[in-house]
Structure 1
Amino acid sequence: MLILLPPSETKRAGGAGVPWDASRLALPELTPIRESVIEALVALSDDPDAAARALKLGPKQRGEIEVNRALRTSPTMPAIDRYTGVLFDALDAASLDASARQWLGEHVLIHSAPFGPVGALDPIPSYRLGAGIRLPGLASQRQLWAGPVAAALDRYARGFVLDLRSEAYVALGAGPAKRSAYVRVLTRAVHGQTRALNHFNKNAKGRLTRALAESGADLSDAAQFMEWASGAGFETDRDGDAIALIVPHAENLLTAAPKDR
């Protein structure tokens, strides 16, 4: 079983790991693309005004340019600990025991913009780059990543793939078509109908991933996942080719999380 998570715009600073090394990341066949993106991102930092425009940074965010400038030399930490925000706060990987964290390392990839999908425990530095940003001198991220990432995921995934990414990151490399299930988070309103969630969908995905890690589940298909989810207290349903993860209206209010920092 493999879980694909999106990244977060917000990240924890610092780290105790050695500087970034492409050879320490999952999916090593993506190294040439990773290197070209990192090179372009670091080079862009030499022109702060151009970097602010390209990365769509406001005046209070310009410190992110220095973060990118130091990308090759700054300390690293496991990807699952690097990201903050609603999904990763709900997952709260730092509070998991060693076996649950090992499960994350074996079963979770986080799809970053500069590195592509990386293992949950792969060491990465802090950075600033979103999925929709086109770096000077490079093709669009979709053109760079989509084909190679899809091929790499097809080789890497040994079985069922649960895709919790946002559509922006799915566009940068789809999971294996016959073995993947995309998850949409819906809420059940008081009158019983369902509708899509925006902000709170991240909280639900984080809680789901934590529950899977704590259970040590290794599920072989969507049907097994839905059976497991029911036993773990999650409501699911079919939503066309996808799986709907349904958050009851009252639970949606009770589990309201703060906006991404």
Structure 2
Amino acid sequence: MLVLLPPSETKRDGGVRGASLDLAGLSFTSLSVQRRQVVADVRRLSRSVSGSMAALALGPTQRFEIDRNRTVSTSPVMPALDRYTGVLYDALDVESLDGVAREFAGEHLVVHSALFGLVRGSDPIPAYRLSHDSRLPELSLRRHWREAVTAALVATDCLVIDLRSNSYIALGPAPSSAVAVRVVSEDARGRRIALSHFNKAGKGRFARALVEAGIAHAGVDSLLEWAAGRDIRLDRTEAGVDLVI
């Protein structure tokens, strides 16, 4: 089982002293060529402050993001699940997981990064700035990642639970057997409303419940049965499942 998460624009600084990016050591080695190309293009872009500000849609207070990209190959690394911050990752709260759950999260939670493609939660990565809609000088991120990411997911031959946003799905659609999760609320008439801000928190809490349970679900039926036993409302739909909160 793989649980696909979107990345976050915000990232924690720091990392393990003396340890830097090892592209060959990241999971999903079939993406190695694509990773090298994107990292190289990001480093080229970082030579130009004005070019980086425009390509990465940075504001005046975000020039530090250019320095992050300039040193992306040599700066300290930390596990991906520790690197990302923001609403989803605050709700996931990996720091408070016990050792068993943390190990499960490192193996089964996968972040879809615009810079690295797919990375497992335990993969060590540096701080960087690159979003799904960033405009690199020599690469279209969508064309660059789309087929390669999908092929990597198909090759895993396991249940994929897709919690990504549409913008990252566009960088690599999951296989047809994947379970797409939509976070919704339900009004008094039973009408469902897709959520925005609470969507991220709901996905973070759901991912945490999955890793705390420590069950590598083999299929949708197993997932739904588990959710019912945990009083988590998952309803099957034509497009996947609705997580009702």
Task: State TM-score, norm by structure 1.
Answer: 0.91
Residue type of the alignment partner of 2:11: K
Q: How far does residue 189 in structure 1 lie from its aligned partner after superposition?
A: 2.2
Structure 2 match to 1:164? 163
Structure 2 match to 1:92? 93
Q: How far does residue 134 in structure 1 lie from its aligned partner after superposition?
A: 2.2
Identical counterparts, % of pairs: 47
CA distance in 1, matches of 2:71, 2:206: 34
3-state DSSP of counterpart to 1:46: coil
3-state DSSP of counterpart to 1:219: coil
CA distance in 1, matches of 2:190, 2:212: 31
List per-residue Cα deviations over 1:172-211 (Å, max 9, x = no partner): 112221x201001001124432100011111111111111
Q: How far does residue 151 in structure 1 lie from its aligned partner after superposition?
A: 0.7
CA distance in 2, matches of 1:115, 1:159: 21
Q: How far does residue 108 in structure 1 lie from its aligned partner after superposition?
A: 1.6
Structure 1 match to 2:81? 80
CA distance in 2, matches of 1:104, 1:24: 18
3-state DSSP of counterpart to 2:181: strand
Structure 2 match to 1:148? 148
Structure 2 match to 1:174? 173
Structure 2 match to 1:63? 64
3-state DSSP of counterpart to 1:110: strand
CA distance in 2, matches of 1:191, 1:86: 29
CA distance in 2, matches of 1:98, 1:230: 26
4+ residue stretches of structure 1 with deviation over 3 A?
A: none
Residue type of the alignment partner of 2:8: S
Residue type of the alignment partner of 1:159: C
Q: How far does residue 213 in structure 1 lie from its aligned partner after superposition?
A: 0.7
Residue type of the alignment partner of 1:40: D
3-state DSSP of counterpart to 1:101: helix
> Is residue 229 from structure 1 mapped to residue 238 from structure 2 by the alignment?
no
Q: More deviation in 11-20 or 72-81? A: 11-20
Structure 1 match to 2:103? 102
Structure 1 match to 2:4? 4
Unaligned residue ranges in structure 1 (runs of 5+): 248-261
CA distance in 2, matches of 1:77, 1:233: 34
CA distance in 2, matches of 1:36, 1:134: 14
Structure 2 match to 1:24? 25
Q: Superposition RMSD on alpha carbons, in Å?
A: 1.1
Unaligned residue ranges in structure 2 (runs of 5+): none
Alpha carbons of structure 1 residues 58 and 230: separation in structure 2 relative to 1, 3 Å: same
3-state DSSP of counterpart to 2:201: helix
> Is residue 193 from structure 1 mapped to residue 188 from structure 2 by the alignment?
no
CA distance in 2, matches of 1:223, 1:197: 25
Residue type of the alignment partner of 1:147: E
List per-residue Cα deviations over 1:93-144 (Å, max 9, x = no partner): 0111111011112212110010001010000000001001120012x11100
3-state DSSP of counterpart to 1:90: helix
Q: How far does residue 238 in structure 1 lie from its aligned partner after superposition?
A: 2.1
